[in-house]
Structure 1
Amino acid sequence: MAVISTRVANDRDLELLRDLYRRSSLSNAGDRANLLASSEALHWTGAGIAGGRTRVATDEGGRILGFATVVSIDGGLELEDLFVDPDAMRQGVATRLMLEAVTQAAREGEPWIEVTANPHAAEFYASAGFVRVAEEQTLFGPAPRLRRDVASPD
């Protein structure tokens, strides 16, 4: 497995992240038709970049492999984005980004991270310690609302 590093995203990353978001989103055959029928669903705004809340995962050469955005919500954090380049999927990129988010949440004293998950990603989120707490209605139908408690750093 390649060495994966993370860093805070910056404005220069915006177009690369938008492209990665689109390719990653469309890589799931079960979602493709709905996404293509709803063009606004394929436009990533990049709002988390300005606030320093988007982190990218890179390989040893600096190529961006994926990104995650975590934002504050009432009582905890929301995992707003978690996308991996289709060519880098199943290589530990999402796991690395998730561990980074949990570590940062613990440093900030946040008690939990929640996500409204794509049902296709349920297995990944379960492996990352998330449990179902509710169901949300999304543009494309119901989706599980998941939570991972964050332990305080020692």
Structure 2
Amino acid sequence: MKETQIHIRPAIPSEHGSLEDLQLRASLANPGDREAIQSAPDAVDLPLAQIIDNRVFVAEVNAAIAGFAVVLPNDDASAELDGLFVDPDMWRHGIGRALVDYCVDSARRQGVSVLHVTGNPHAGSFYLRCGFEPGDEVRMRLGAARRFRKIV
């Protein structure tokens, strides 16, 4: 099988709608998220300011958007992986992992010492494979989740 060539770059404002559409498709394709998203469609939200502030990173395959991630700074020397979405047609091609690795490297270059993420129960094994350590379970708007952290 040919290896997928993934290019990661900052998002641009004109991609805002496409990225929100991708987030919705990815969320609805996940059985663990579908019902919650359908009951709260306003939860699919990517603030344009995050794109303008260079906090959103896009993964491209063959010049097409295949996924994106959002990294937000915290008040301490840590940051939050606040969103990670891959087009369902591109699942299991290494795009999510490439985005995590890119975000970890980016955070490290900015002096961040720890990257946090809050993941749905079905995402936990993915974050563990990416080297995150499990933390406490938390309640989020759409249900139970777990906090993870990775020393960068």
Q: TM-score, normalised by structure 2?
A: 0.93
CA distance in 2, matches of 1:47, 1:136: 27
Quote the residue 1:26 is aligned against: 28
Q: Which residue of 2 aligns with 1:113?
A: 115
Q: Which residue in 1 is equivalent to 2:58?
A: 56
Identify the match of residue 37 of structure 2 among 35, 51, 59. Answer: 35
The one-letter code matched in structure 2 to 1:70 is V
User: Structure 2 unaligned runs (5+)?
Assistant: none
Compared CA separation, residues 70 and 130, structure 1 to 2 (3 A)? same
Residue by residue, what CA displacement relative to the aligned partner does 1:42-63 show, whole Å, maximum 9, x if unpaired? Answer: 3433432010010000013x10
1:3 and 2:5 matched:
yes
1:70 aligned residue? 71
Alignment RMSD, CA only?
1.1
**Worse-superposed segment, 117-126 or 131-140:** 131-140
Aligned residues: 149
Higher mean alpha-carbon deviation, 101-110 vs 62-71, is at: 101-110
Which amino acid is 1:99 matched to?
D
Quote the Cα distance in structure 2 between the aligned partners of 1:22 and 1:11.
18
Whole-angstrom distance in 2 between the partners of 1:46 and 1:146:
26
User: Could you tell me how far 1:140 is from its partner in structure 2?
Assistant: 2.5
Tell me what 2:136 maps to.
134
The answer (yes or no) to whether the contact 2:16–2:46 under 8 Å persists in 1 is: no
CA distance in 2, matches of 1:46, 1:28: 25
User: Which secondary structure state, in structure 1, belongs to the residue aligned with residue 54 of structure 2?
Assistant: coil
Q: Which amino acid letter does the alignment assign opposite residue 92 of structure 2? A: R
Measure the CA separation in 1 of the matches of 2:109 and 2:79.
13
Moved more, 96-105 or 31-40: 31-40
Partners in 2 of 1:34 and 1:104 — Cα distance? 31
